């Protein structure tokens, strides 16, 4: 069985491209630059604000795009395009993408494409291999403005009710596999790919912009999965128990993380910050400053307050305790801990923090999410007051 072969030999090739046409003497607007030759023989190219794949022969394609999406076997290729120079409606977006397809040399009816707010300079390309199986993920990603969690509240129902494009964000994935497979397996590859994307966001603790949950994607994510029906290699499983599923998971998760570093500077170090951990509950730098003033604490200018906050917010102890506290609130929201359990454990963390920072602060007064958040904000403000007063 493919997933149990004894002579496993796995290697990973990491491709990370940073392009700057203005700095290249040989590159001009409109020129196609070949970036990579896939294991299928297809060429990955860059032209201006687009990155595409030109198929050497017909492929099995499963696309979530509104442009020639669904399952297709008659496409000439696929591409990802940065088109945020102007504010677009859905109608103008479709027209713009049609024009871009022609510019790239595709028949607009024979190409599936994705638009994004992410720069093509920030693409991440990663390849994972096992014996004859090769998987390549080509990813652009941005989540600072549009990250969301499945099930977040929304008001979109019919296209006419929302003619404007959503906020820029988007994790766009082109996943190419060099194997032939049943249509059901191609569809399963899409599921595994999506799970890998979500795993990358969970491991970075990316906040939803629409609720107090952790993000599972952005509101405008798109994915195109490609398989090779002409390959000798035939695989019938792309789930997590299969080697193909493993390759998909590793390639996609790694590429998504790298693309987020390049587009948003989203690293573990950036996330090692109290505000980054708790902002999904409405605690921002601005709110802390306004609440600090309203509490009547020592007068301090905004610039000095933010300087002290930045100095405090990345500290090991407060980040660790905030992470534990926030996870208690999450588990309460998920129905895994009662309000009483969160209150007891939360008060313990507040006491620990108060002792460590040498401040006196109250405990949780209201056993609700708002009450839990308010108690921790009070702790942060008390610590900041002490820090500012000691300067």
Give the model confidence (pLDDT) of 223-233 as tens digits: 999 999 999 99
134 and 119: one domain?
yes
133 and 10: one domain?
yes
Query: Could you give the 3-state DSSP secondary structure of residue 35?
Result: strand
Determine the straight-line distance between the first and last CA of the chain, rounded to whole angstroms: 67
120 and 243: one domain?
yes
Structure tokens given for 272: 């090692």
User: What is the CATH number for 156?
Assistant: 3.60.70
- Residue ending a domain, choose from 267, 295, 326: 267
Buried/exposed code over 59-79 (b: 16+ C-beta within 10 A; e: otherwise): bbbbbbbbbbbeebeebbbbb
300 and 263: one domain?
no
Helix (H) / strand (E) element for 69: namely none
274 CB-near residues (< 8 Å, 6+ apart): 312, 313, 314, 318, 319, 322, 380
278 and 233: one domain?
no
242 and 279: one domain?
no
For the chain, the domain total comes to 2
183 and 260: one domain?
yes
169 and 198: one domain?
yes
Q: What pTM, to 2 d.p., does this model score?
A: 0.87
Please count the other Cβ atoms lying within 10 Å of the Cβ belonging to residue 53: 28
211 and 348: one domain?
no
- Residue ending a domain, choose from 267, 282, 300: 267
315 and 357: one domain?
yes
In tens, the pLDDT along 86-132 reads: 556 788 889 999 999 999 999 999 999 999 999 999 999 999 999 99
Low-confidence ranges of the chain (pLDDT < 70): 1-30, 85-88, 156-169
pLDDT of 24 reads: 30
Domain with 349 in it: 272-389
- Residue ending a domain, choose from 231, 246, 267: 267
243 and 286: one domain?
no
116 and 211: one domain?
yes
């Amino acid at each position: 069985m493919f997933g149990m072969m004894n002579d496993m030999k796995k290697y990973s090739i990491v491709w990370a491209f940073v392009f700057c046409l203005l700095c290249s003497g040989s590159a001009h607007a409109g020129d196609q630059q070949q970036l990579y030759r896939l294991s299928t023989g297809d060429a990955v190219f860059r032209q201006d604000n687009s990155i595409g794949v030109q198929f050497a022969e017909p492929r099995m394609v499963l696309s979530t795009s509104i442009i020639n999406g669904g399952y297709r076997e008659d496409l000439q290729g696929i591409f990802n395009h940065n088109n945020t120079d102007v504010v677009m409606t859905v109608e103008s977006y479709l027209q713009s993408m049609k024009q871009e397809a022609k510019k790239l040399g595709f028949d607009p009816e024979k190409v599936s494409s994705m638009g994004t707010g992410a720069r093509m300079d920030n693409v991440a390309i990663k390849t994972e291999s096992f014996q004859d199986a090769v998987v390549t993920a080509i990813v652009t990603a941005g989540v600072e403005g549009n990250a969301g969690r499945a099930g977040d509240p929304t008001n979109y129902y019919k296209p006419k009710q929302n003619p404007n494009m959503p906020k820029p964000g988007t994790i766009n994935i082109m996943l190419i596999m060099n194997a032939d497979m049943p249509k059901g397996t191609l569809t399963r590859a899409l599921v595994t790919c999506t799970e890998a994307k979500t795993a990358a966001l969970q491991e970075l603790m990316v906040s939803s912009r629409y609720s107090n949950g952790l993000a599972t994607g952005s509101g405008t994510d798109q994915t195109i999965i490609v398989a090779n029906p002409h390959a000798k290699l035939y695989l019938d499983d792309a789930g997590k128990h299969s080697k193909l599923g493993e390759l998909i998971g590793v390639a996609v998760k790694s590429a998504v993380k790298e693309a987020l570093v390049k587009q948003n500077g989203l690293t573990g170090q950036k996330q090692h910050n109290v505000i980054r951990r708790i902002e999904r509950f409405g605690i921002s730098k601005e709110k802390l400053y306004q609440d600090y003033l309203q509490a009547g604490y020592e007068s301090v200018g905004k610039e000095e307050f933010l300087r002290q906050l930045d100095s405090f917010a990345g500290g090991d102890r407060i980040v660790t305790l905030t992470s534990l506290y926030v996870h208690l609130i999450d588990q309460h929201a998920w129905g895994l801990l009662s309000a009483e359990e969160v209150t007891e454990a939360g008060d313990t963390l507040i006491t620990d923090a108060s002792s460590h920072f040498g401040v006196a602060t109250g405990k949780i007064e209201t056993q609700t999410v708002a009450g839990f958040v308010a108690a921790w904000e009070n702790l942060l403000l008390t610590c900041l007051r002490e820090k500012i007063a000691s300067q």
